[in-house]
């Protein structure tokens, strides 16, 4: 056998051996690894800039969620754009909210824990992600504490294209299916708040950046309701396309648009920006935002 072929065989064997050892090595370092629809998911503990313990979810190399692990902080938002969402909604009289994209269920947990009698529907397309949220991001603890621990979950009939199952657990309804399909179905009903926190790779939920997406949101939003979106975009320059698209699409449908920028000091860098569309006049100073329309 030629030396080059022998070297290639040895390298292949080493690579295969390392791949087989990877789960064991990750577990030894306190990392949970699980296969999901969109790639390998990793769950691991770290700390924020202030040294507060946090837990992170990364899927296929992209951070999807983060939460605090201290018992007194479990339901508080860690991400800046989630905190901006919370500030925008402060004092609002919410009865029903829809969150598209579960991930670690960070913002749904905040809504359920901090708003009495609020019913929250969460649409997550990947059941493996929801299981990770149950096992490692305190979703089951939230349900036990706020959603009626004495009641068994109820399977809810739902004939919506792209939706696999719907499970009602007290004030939280877990929908396994496609967020766009759920939103465009007439059965979805009206919400005072619709949150788009779903994205695949580096882009938000595709159709939601279009005029059709804006119109569908408006159809299912109560008068003076809020549409909140995590828009991963630069504020200026060649990487600002997603923000420009959202502004154009929702500006033709809603009276007011607001933005809480992630990186205002470096506008050409991509950040996670809190985008707000509503027909309600808001005081930007209350949530640190700027008016887009």
Q: Is the pLDDT of residue 5 over 60?
A: no
Higher-confidence residue: 159 or 2?
A: 159
Higher-confidence residue: 250 or 149?
A: 250
Q: How confident is the model at residue 142 (pLDDT cuts 50, 70, 90)?
A: very high
Q: Is the pLDDT of residue 243 over 70?
A: yes
Q: In this predicted structure, what is the pLDDT of residue 109?
A: 96
In this structure, what token pair is assigned to residue 48?
Answer: 């924020």
Contacts with 246 (C-beta within 8 Å, 6 or more apart), sequence order: 209, 229, 231, 233, 275
Q: How confident is the model at residue 277 (pLDDT cuts 50, 70, 90)?
A: very high
Higher-confidence residue: 118 or 151?
A: 118
CATH of domain 79-291: 3.40.50.150
Q: Is the pLDDT of residue 92 over 50?
A: yes
Q: In this predicted structure, what is the pLDDT of residue 122?
A: 95
In this structure, what token pair is assigned to residue 44?
Answer: 């691991």
Reduced to 3 states, what is the DSSP secondary structure of residue 183?
helix
Please give the Cα distance from 41 to 144 (Å, whole number): 25
Please give the Cα distance from 196 to 102 (Å, whole number): 10
Please give the Cα distance from 183 to 123 (Å, whole number): 9
Q: Is the pLDDT of residue 140 over 90?
A: yes
Instruction: Pinpoint the alpha helices (H) of the chain.
Output: 3-28, 80-89, 106-114, 127-136, 139-146, 179-184, 211-219, 241-251
Q: Compute φ and ψ for 163, nearest 5 degrees.
A: -100, 125
Q: In this predicted structure, what is the pLDDT of residue 9?
A: 43
Across 2-6, 104-108, 153-157, which has the greatest mean pLDDT? Answer: 104-108
Helix (H) or strand (E) holding 34: strand 32-36
Q: What is the pTM of this model?
A: 0.86
In this structure, what token pair is assigned to residue 46?
Answer: 């770290």
- Helices 106-114 & 80-89, crossing angle to 10 degrees? 30
CB atoms within 10 A of CB 45: 13
Contacts with 130 (C-beta within 8 Å, 6 or more apart), sequence order: 102, 105, 124, 139, 174, 176
In this structure, what token pair is assigned to residue 114?
Answer: 């901090």
Q: In this predicted structure, what is the pLDDT of residue 259?
A: 97
Q: In this predicted structure, what is the pLDDT of residue 185?
A: 82
Q: Is the pLDDT of residue 77 over 90?
A: yes
Q: What is the mean pLDDT of residues 55-68?
A: 89
Instruction: Pinpoint the alpha helices (H) of 119-240.
Output: 127-136, 139-146, 179-184, 211-219
Q: Which of 99-108, 168-177, 239-248 shows the lowest mean pLDDT across its residues?
A: 168-177
Q: Is the pLDDT of residue 44 over 70?
A: yes
Q: How confident is the model at residue 170 (pLDDT cuts 50, 70, 90)?
A: confident
Q: Is the pLDDT of residue 95 over 60?
A: yes
Q: Is the pLDDT of residue 204 over 70?
A: no
Q: Which of 1-5, 85-89, 219-223 shows the lowest mean pLDDT across its residues?
A: 1-5
Higher-confidence residue: 3 or 227?
A: 227
In this structure, what token pair is assigned to residue 246?
Answer: 């959202």
Q: Which of 33-37, 76-80, 110-114 shows the lowest mean pLDDT across its residues?
A: 33-37
Please give the Cα distance from 91 to 127 (Å, whole number): 33
Q: In this predicted structure, what is the pLDDT of residue 116?
A: 85
Cα separations in angstroms, 175 against 95, 105, 208, 286: 18, 12, 18, 33
């Amino acid at each position: 056998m030629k030396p080059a072929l022998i070297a290639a065989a040895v390298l292949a064997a080493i690579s295969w051996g390392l791949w087989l050892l990877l789960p064991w090595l990750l577990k030894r370092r306190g990392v949970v690894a699980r296969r999901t629809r969109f790639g390998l998911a990793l769950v691991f503990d770290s700390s924020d800039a202030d040294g507060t313990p946090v837990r992170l979810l990364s899927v296929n190399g992209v951070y999807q969620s983060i939460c605090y692990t201290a018992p007194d902080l479990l339901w508080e938002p860690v991400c800046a754009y989630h905190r901006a969402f919370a500030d925008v909604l402060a004092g609002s009289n919410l009865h029903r909210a829809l969150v598209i994209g579960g991930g670690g269920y960070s913002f749904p947990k905040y809504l359920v824990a901090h708003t009495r009698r609020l019913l929250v529907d969460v649409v997550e397309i990947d059941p493996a992600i929801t299981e990770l949220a149950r096992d490692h991001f305190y979703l089951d603890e939230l349900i036990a504490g706020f959603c009626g621990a004495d009641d068994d979950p109820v399977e809810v009939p739902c004939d919506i294209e792209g939706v696999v199952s719907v499970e009602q657990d007290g004030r939280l309804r877990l929908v396994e299916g496609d967020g766009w399909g759920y939103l465009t179905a007439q059965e979805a009903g009206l919400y005072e708040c619709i949150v788009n926190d779903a994205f695949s790779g580096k882009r938000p939920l595709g159709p939601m950046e279009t005029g059709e997406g804006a119109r569908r949101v408006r159809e299912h939003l109560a008068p003076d309701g809020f549409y909140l979106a995590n828009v991963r975009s630069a504020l200026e320059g060649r990487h600002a396309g997603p923000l420009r698209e959202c502004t154009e699409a929702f500006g033709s449908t809603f009276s007011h648009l607001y933005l809480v920028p992630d990186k205002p000091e470096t506008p050409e860098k991509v950040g996670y920006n809190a985008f707000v569309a509503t027909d309600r006049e808001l005081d930007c100073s209350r949530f640190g935002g700027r008016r887009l329309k």
